[in-house]
């Protein structure tokens, strides 16, 4: 059986749109042609891929499996085109790097710059995500290399040392904790918090620490970046817990104060993750080796 990538693309569109008509409109093709291609896929695989009702369509169990695999295949084919076509302009490699905001804010700008100075013909495509999403992307082949914060690791990935960082508390300058040299996490729970979005490693870490004390943080507002968190703290919406390196650039420009967080879990380990070190392509191997260099 020969599978046409267009048929896979149409199948993904049908599931995402919920109707054959919606997929046809999205992909600018006649609905009858879409229906014919899906029927050919079902005939080729020998099993139904869609449940058809008068309200639309939904994938069968086989269809759900095909959806996941088709997305990976289409992503790889697009990446194949991008990487190979770049050779015509002198590019000799392409690395997909997915990292959490702790790495992006504290370490990666200088490290990617120095890497690209050494290897100007290698392109680095950087995406930001939470650690769980990063590991999923690496495991499914959507990213070559990931950077996460230490936590629950997947068994199907390999992890390598990267950096450590130190969590601190930041407060508005007129806050009751602002003049303290250090503070325990339990003491911070008496005040409103500005937190990161649900699912981020730091958000999960704060929740776990609170649960161990049988407490719940008073999350007044949640944001998706450290710069937004610092701005919200300056505005008096609460205190925050952030990596020191991510908040340091804002100490002079914003009316916020850093306070040491006196907890053993305040020091965190960041890790590189890959599917297999031995299977990394040459450009990805160069980047991993560069990121693993000792700090200076």
Residue 95: CATH number of its domain: 3.40.190.10
Q: Which residues pair with 166 in a beta bridge?
A: 267
Average confidence (pLDDT) over 162-180: 96
Q: Which backbone phi and psi does 43 adopt, to 5 degrees?
A: -65, -40
- Does one domain contain both 30 and 45? yes
203 versus 293: the higher-pLDDT residue is: 203
Q: How many independent structural domains does the chain possess? A: 3
Of 56, 83, 110, the domain-final residue: 83
What pLDDT is stored for residue 240 in this prediction? 97
Lowest mean per-residue pLDDT among 84-98, 99-113, 196-210: 84-98
**Domain span including residue 207:** 164-267
- Does one domain contain both 152 and 287? yes
- Does one domain contain both 190 and 258? yes
Exposure b/e, 193-222, CB count within 10 A at least 16 = b = bbbbeeebbbbbbbeebbeeeeeebebeeb
pLDDT digits (tens, 9 = 90+) for 220-248: 999 989 999 999 999 999 999 999 999 99
- Does one domain contain both 21 and 43? yes
């Amino acid at each position: 059986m020969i599978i046409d990538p267009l048929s896979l693309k149409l199948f993904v569109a049908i599931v995402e749109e919920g109707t054959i008509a919606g997929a046809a409109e999205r992909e600018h093709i006649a609905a009858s042609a879409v229906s014919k291609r899906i029927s050919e896929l079902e005939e080729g695989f020998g099993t139904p891929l869609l449940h058809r009702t008068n309200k639309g369509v939904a994938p069968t169990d086989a269809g759900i499996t095909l959806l996941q695999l088709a997305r990976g295949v289409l992503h790889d084919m697009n990446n194949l085109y991008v990487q190979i076509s770049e050779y015509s302009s002198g590019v000799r490699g392409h690395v997909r790097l997915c990292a959490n905001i702790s790495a992006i804010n504290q370490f990666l700008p200088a490290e990617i710059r120095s890497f690209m100075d050494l290897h100007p013909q290698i392109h680095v495509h950087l995406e930001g995500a939470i650690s769980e999403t990063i590991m999923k992307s690496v495991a499914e082949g959507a990213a070559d290399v990931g950077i996460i914060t230490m936590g629950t690791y997947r068994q199907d990935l390999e992890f390598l040392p990267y950096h450590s960082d130190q969590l601190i508390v930041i407060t508005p300058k007129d806050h009751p904790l602002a003049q303290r040299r250090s503070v325990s996490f339990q003491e911070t729970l008496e005040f409103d918090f500005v937190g990161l979005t649900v699912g981020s490693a730091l958000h999960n870490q704060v929740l776990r620490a609170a649960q161990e004390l049988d407490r719940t943080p008073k999350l007044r507002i949640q944001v998706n970046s450290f710069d937004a968190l610092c701005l919200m703290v300056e505005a008096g919406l609460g205190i925050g817990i952030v990596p020191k390196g991510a908040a340091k650039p804002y100490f002079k420009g914003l009316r916020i104060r850093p306070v040491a967080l006196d907890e053993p879990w305040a020091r965190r380990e960041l890790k590189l993750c890959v599917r297999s070190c031995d299977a990394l392509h040459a450009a990805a191997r160069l980047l991993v080796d560069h990121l693993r260099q000792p700090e200076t």
